[in-house]
Amino acid sequence: MFRLKLVFAIVVYFGIVLLGHASEVVLKDVNGKHISFSSLKGKWIFINYWASWCNPCLDEIAEFNRFYRNKKDKVALFAVNYDMLPVEKQLDLIRQYNIRYPSLQHNPARELHLGNIRGVPVTFVFNPQGELSQTLYGGQTLASLNRVIKNS
């Protein structure tokens, strides 16, 4: 029984430590703006990994644009280029593909404990408390994005 309590205490401790670190993460967009993850609490946070060679990624950009335009007050949405290109190249792609929501300079997967990103498109969703609540694989639509918020 003691071992079970000890294991439980360790799991709870590390869970609190990991959640605490996520709230201390500072994101940096391609324009150099710093955004603290904790400042986004109260909003749904969507972090979408994409690449210019990925057709489903390109197809979902218009859907994410509409979603962001309609839900800006409830949602923080960030694009992350899977190939981690230099900022100037990322800015060219943002213009070329008409991405109308913020894009991050660097991959936040390590800091947010997302694991290895093995393919795209993939979108990580954090609830308004800042906790990872869903991982969405494949291309998304306006309807599928709205369902995430509605069903949670």
Peptide linkage before 121 cis (omega within 30 of 0):
yes
The domain limits of the chain are 2-150
The answer to whether 102 touches 65, Cβ cutoff 8 Å, is no
Q: Which of 97, 91, 27 is nearest to 64 (CA)?
A: 97
Q: Which of 102, 105, 70, 100 is nearest to 89 (CA)?
A: 105
| Averaged pLDDT, 53-73 | 98
Note the pLDDT tens digit of each residue in 16-56.
444 444 568 999 999 999 999 999 999 999 999 999 999 99
Place of tokens 């079970």: 4
Secondary structure class of 76 (helix, strand, coil): strand
The C-alpha atoms of residue 3 and residue 55 are separated, in whole angstroms, by 51
pTM listed for this prediction: 0.84
Cα 108 to chain centroid distance, Å, stands at 8
The C-alpha atoms of residue 106 and residue 78 are separated, in whole angstroms, by 11
Tell me the fold of 2-150.
Glutaredoxin (3.40.30)
Note the pLDDT tens digit of each residue in 75-124.
999 999 999 999 999 999 999 999 999 999 999 999 999 999 999 999 99
pLDDT at site 152: 72
What DSSP state is assigned to residue 105? S
Place of tokens 């230099």: 86
Hey, how many other C-beta atoms are within 10 angstroms of the C-beta on 34?
9
